[in-house]
Structure 1
Amino acid sequence: MTNPRGAAANSAAMSAALSGAVDLSALKARADAQRQQQSSPQAPTGGGGAPAGGAVLNVTEADFQPEVVERSLNQLVVVELTASYSGQAQQLSQTLDKLASHANGAWVLARVDVEASPRIAQLFGAQSIPTVVAVAGGQPVHAFAGALPEAEVQKWLDELLDALKDKLPGAQGAQQGGEPAEEPEDPRFTEAEDAFARGDFAAAEAAYQRILDVEPANEQAKAALVHVRFEARAAEADSSAVAKADAEPGDLDAQLAAADFEVAQNEAEAAFDRLIAAVRRTAGDDRNRVREHLVGLFELFDPADERVAKARRNLASALF
């Protein structure tokens, strides 16, 4: 999984980190030179309007320059760093596929399998999977990590496109006409999402909880609340939590914090094993506390994730 802060850092923090980790200037310079040498007035592949290869491109190290760097000179390219082992990544892929298919060419999704192309993840300094990076004008301009709710991803994209509409021909033209206007945003979710975006997890949690107080069955609010609560905890955890937990197996607070940090660092199996071991060592209220924390971590992942299925089996064995 990711992190932000560990699992899914907010976009601003993630973008700040990228600004020092990524330098595509050399690739951009080569792309600019190639464009100037072309005798044809046509733009290079991927130069604006609807993406030539469709809304979603599978990108490797071999075609990263033309499909991401050169294409981004005319059109917003959203680079998705993903992996088959990550349930969160698969969840985010579905969201991005849906949004890209309705984008009317305003942006193109470049999907990168980091297992097959690890150097691209290294180039962006990605600390967790999934990570999403917006590239425009040959440079990364914004990013986030983690499987954000669809509404938050759409808002992130809308803000990017608005900021780039006068800079990228593709972003400016593709937003006009074609697709019907989307339904107005629910102001209750907007309030929660705005609080989350500025790192005010307490306010975001309270906003989502107010929705659930009125609509207990609202699945979107439920999922978002789980995500926000985890982010709040993960933001407080660091590598020292693991060292402390390893040194003091009986310290439940340390065990829970270490598990949060490990999940945030995409080490879900280690986190699950840690808490299952704690379940085996404890009883009564302590055991129930660890069990509830572990089940809460399961909710961050796709139910079909094999790591979750395996951990659920091991938890049942530990309990009974």
Structure 2
Amino acid sequence: MLELGQGDAAQAGASAGDLIKEVSEATFMTEVVDASMTVPVIVDFWAPWCGPCKTLGPALEAAVTAAGGAVKMAKINVDENQAIAGQMRVQSIPTVYAFWQGQPVDGFQGALPPSEIDAFVTRVIEAGGGAAPDNGLDDALTAAEEMLSEGDAESAGETFAAIIEQDQTIVAAFGGLARANIAMGALDQAEAVLNGTPAEFSDAPEIEAAYAQLELARQAENAGPVAELRAAVDADPGNHEARLDLAQALHAAGEVEAAVAELLELFRRDREWNDGAAKTQLFTIFDALPANDPVVLNGRRKLSSMIFA
């Protein structure tokens, strides 16, 4: 398995944006030929309609990211850059070349299994005088989390999936892949990912958090209009069902702190109502957020003060 290389500090801290770039005919000389004078560059010729490309591309990206700057990657859409594809004699896709000091030094056609992708990237690194990496897939995982936080759920999901292909013991990748699917609205797929997580990881915080986010996302699909539910609660503060629905609607609208406030009020009014529904919903929200989130910290403190009052 290809793992994260040490390299120098600048390279190890390189982001996915520095290491993996979309390249055109106008930028090929700079991003591939010139760049390969100092670090090997893997060039992936692909197209949006190519099925195998959708598997190979993310796996290559994960391996390149995991190498921590010891190699870079250029992605070339052959539909938009036919001249370069012709010059490189690309006859089928995916086709991959590795450049070092301005010249192609290795390559292959078609999709490969993860072990062969790792071997290819390792050969390319060694061709450039680098050491085979040895520190894990931490950078790839970090890059995927950054993609997800920046709203690129599709790329994040592809990277998480590629990490899982290389190492099925990285529980955070399973949780990340589920969260990426949730962000894309693919809730059934997210559930399938979680159900397919190895049994020994079922109680891991990353998996529990993803399950909580999935439950909240399913609630959001059926959430009612906030204004109408607010009016119903204002008209009858003792309408517990309306208050619970309001809390779910507020959370679906992104008003998490307001949702917690309504649930705390419901708990204060009747903690046993509907089998403790207020407390259950609060814990679902808390589980879905980072443990150090201010909403979680404040919410747990207020809930505890009510329980032990």
**TM-score band, normalised by shorter chain:** 0.3 to 0.5
Q: Which has the larger radius of gyration?
A: 2
Per chain length, whose mean CA-contact separation is higher, i.e. which structure has more relative contact order (CA < 8 Å, sep 6+)? 1
With normalisation by structure 2, the TM-score equals 0.41
With normalisation by structure 1, the TM-score equals 0.40
